[in-house]
Amino acid sequence: MTDHVETRSTAGANLEIRIGGSGTPLLLLHGCHGWWGWEEVLERLSRQFTVIAPSHPGFGHSPRVAGIDSVDDLAYFYLDAAAEWGMAPAQIVGFGLGGWLAAEMAVRCPSAIERLVLVDSVGIKISDRETRDIADPFILSPSAHQQLLWHDTSSYRAPLPEPGMQPDVLEPMLRNLESAMYYGWKPYMHNPKLRQRLHRIASPTLVVWGEGDRIVSADYGRAFAESIPGARFVTIRGAGHYPHRERVDSFVDEVAGFLV
């Protein structure tokens, strides 16, 4: 499958971007493990939309940018980038860390978002300070980390660092994980004030969740959706944290039906 990757100078940064398809532009914001090439979900969505899937600064082959060291900074960066790309208001799909980022964009500039899809997103706190809402797979062995990501752990593997890997394979994986921690470590993978700001989101919003997510539970997803005015919450059966990879057909049907 052709990777559709290019480097584009935008909003003061050189971004690695995967772009393809035709139709209404659709901005996809990845999670902690970045993009794994021109993935099946990108190919499927590109049949109905012009898919624009950047690697955030510090992920993939996008260099980190001075002055961008938080999800807050990334939110303003992508608001500027979307305007530069002629995508204001934009249709955005955010996955995990990218969902947190998309929500921060939407509360800062509601008029810049036309439609919003959050997929197994992190970013909020729903329980007391002693209760863990978001699992921390980064402290685990690769095999234990994999167990948290998938519903069917025998059929799917995320690109995680393991002993014996070649440097050219290992380096981008380490960069992705390092950057995820750089942006999301303190406090861990959330903004304590984001939930109280979600009422500012004015765009139609779909919250999609893998029914068996072990990183952030479906109850966490419901609480996320309930905090956004008029948001609709759906679960994908037979999927964990990555429904867009584990159940591509069901995922694309839900998202495309909402966006079209």
How far is Cα 244 from Cα 250, in angstroms, rounded to an integer? 8
Residue 1 scores a pLDDT above 70: no
Q: What is the mean pLDDT of residues 126-130?
A: 93
How much is the pTM? 0.97
Q: Which of 25, 43, 2, 27 is nearest to 251 (CA)?
A: 43
pLDDT of residue 118: 99
Residue 92 scores a pLDDT above 70: yes
Q: Which of 89, 94, 44 is nearest to 207 (CA)?
A: 94
Residue 129 scores a pLDDT above 90: no
Placement of tokens 């139609």 in the chain: 204
Q: What is the mean pLDDT of residues 254-259?
A: 98
CATH fold label, 5-259 = Rossmann fold (3.40.50)
Inter-CA distances, 140 with 146, 147, 162, 211, 239, Å: 9, 10, 12, 22, 21
Q: Where are the alpha helices (DSSP H) in the chain?
A: 40-45, 71-84, 97-108, 142-149, 167-184, 218-226, 243-246, 248-259
Residue 207 scores a pLDDT above 70: yes
Q: Which of 222, 214, 32 is nearest to 124 (CA)?
A: 222
Residue 164 scores a pLDDT above 90: no
